Structure 1
Amino acid sequence: MEGSTAPEAKAKAAVLRVAAISGSLRRGSANTGLIRAAKEICEESIPGMVIDHVDISGLPLLNTDLEVDGGFPPAVEAFRAKVRAADCFLFANPEYNYSISGPLKNALDWGSRPPNCWADRAAAILSASGGSGGSRSQYHIRQVGVFLDIHFINKPELFIRAHQPPKKFDSDGNLIDPEIREELKNVLLSLQAFALRLQCKASASEHAAMSSSSDKGD
């Protein structure tokens, strides 16, 4: 079909790879369970979107003394490569003392070391925590994301009060609440739409720049 190479067509045909990061290292974490649920939802009902769970448990604490000759420790290099390869991000984070969990903040900081690996891509945040459902941690992640040039979806928001009835997760952290599962699906659909829109704009800008350059004569 004529015009199928337009930026919009390319974006629609692309597979979005989502780097999903849990801010909890606990084996039965509900936040890690949300990532598993997101992966299942994409496989079942969101074509063109693939969730890659990026494990951050092996990252050392940020220490710039570990950077040698412009390089990073192997675990950090591997993590940064996964971040760079992603089209967008999904963060699932508990609330620790009204803020971001230590492991996630450490991962964000390692990815931000020059050159910043996070910039100019879409992201969404999930949280399962205590009374607030993790809302305060989400807004702190958004603040950090301003400096990192991460573009977050604004709606829908998903704050899960993990310990209030009815039961939402089983003992292994698996999501068992169908209503929350549907809310999670809506978050993923919003992330997909926003990420594709950003890709379209980037492709259109590149196309315009190339056209402008080719129009210039000697």
Structure 2
Amino acid sequence: MSDTSILVLVGSLRAGSTNRQLAEAAIGVAPAGVDLTIYEGLADIPFYNEDIDVEGSVPAAATAFRDALAAADAVLVVTPEHNGTIPAVLKNAIDWASRPFGASPITGKPLAAIGSAYGQFGGVWAQDEARKALTIAGASVLEEIKLAIPGSVVRFAEIHPKDDAEVVGQLEAVVQGVVAAVSEKAAA
């Protein structure tokens, strides 16, 4: 059993996405005692609807997602940018994670948002939107932890992020920052 469990939410559903590869690379740099796990069920969660978010009616996929969030010590969001903002699948996950408001499984949980995008800014708009929505949802967003990799389609056309020394170093710092936030929360 690991000392620190970090749930990774990848905003792209595409199997070969650079953001999924970035998440895989983050898993590879996790130090001993730290377990990063990509949540594989985001595509299965129905669109948030308050009519089905009642005891006895919550879809199994939403319950499984909330349970995974509750079991994690922290969350790492790895997102592309879709039309200048976060992908719908990630926004939907945030909506499910935010309820019940104030007592949701994400309330107070350390969370960092990073990612890559084809454009010249590396998806910073999507990351900022994710941070904003997750702050409102109740997460303890780690504003100081940032990583935006521009030109991802070209940069990672022939190399996986795990083989890019600069990216590996940046991911190590991200993971260390999240782990430090978990330790600080536990000590408080």
TM over 0.5: yes
Percent identical residues: 28
8 Å contact kept, 1:30–1:162: no
8 Å contact kept, 2:52–2:58: yes
Mapping for residues 100-115 of structure 1, pairs under 5 Å = 100-114=86-100, 115=103
Runs (4+) off by over 4 Å: none
Cα distance in 1, alignment partners of residues 68 and 158 from structure 2: 30
8 Å contact kept, 2:161–2:167: no
1:195 paired to 2:167: no
Mapping for residues 110-125 of structure 1, pairs under 5 Å = 110-114=96-100, 115-125=103-113
8 Å contact kept, 1:17–1:87: yes
Partner of 1:7: none
Residues 121 and 66 of structure 1, relative CA distance in 2, 3 Å threshold: same
Partner of 2:32: 47
* Deviation of the 1:170 alpha carbon: 4.3
* Deviation of the 1:92 alpha carbon: 0.2
Mapping for residues 5-44 of structure 1, pairs under 5 Å = 15-42=3-30
* Deviation of the 1:169 alpha carbon: 5.2
Partner of 1:58: 44
Q: Secondary structure at the match of 1:52?
A: strand
Of 154, 161, 181, the residue aligned with 2:143 is 154
Residues 69 and 22 of structure 1, relative CA distance in 2, 3 Å threshold: same
Of 124, 132, 150, the residue aligned with 1:143 is 132
Cα distance in 2, alignment partners of residues 156 and 170 from structure 1: 27
Q: Secondary structure at the match of 2:152?
A: coil
**Matched AA of 1:41:** V
Cα distance in 1, alignment partners of residues 152 and 37 from structure 2: 27
What are the Cα deviations for residues 55-78 of structure 1, in whole angstroms up to 9, with x where unaligned?
A: 212111112232354541011111
Of 180, 184, 193, the residue aligned with 2:167 is 180
What are the Cα deviations for residues 76-121 of structure 1, in whole angstroms up to 9, with x where unaligned?
A: 1111100111100000000111111110000010111214110111
8 Å contact kept, 2:114–2:146: yes
**Matched AA of 2:36:** I
Cα distance in 2, alignment partners of residues 32 and 88 from structure 1: 18
Cα distance in 1, alignment partners of residues 170 and 152 from structure 2: 18
Larger Rg: 1
**Matched AA of 2:93:** A
Select between 102-111 and 152-161 the one with higher mean Cα deviation. 152-161
* Deviation of the 1:47 alpha carbon: 2.1
**TM-score normalised over the length of structure 2:** 0.89
Q: Any unmatched runs of 5+ in structure 1?
A: 1-13, 202-218
* Deviation of the 1:41 alpha carbon: 0.9
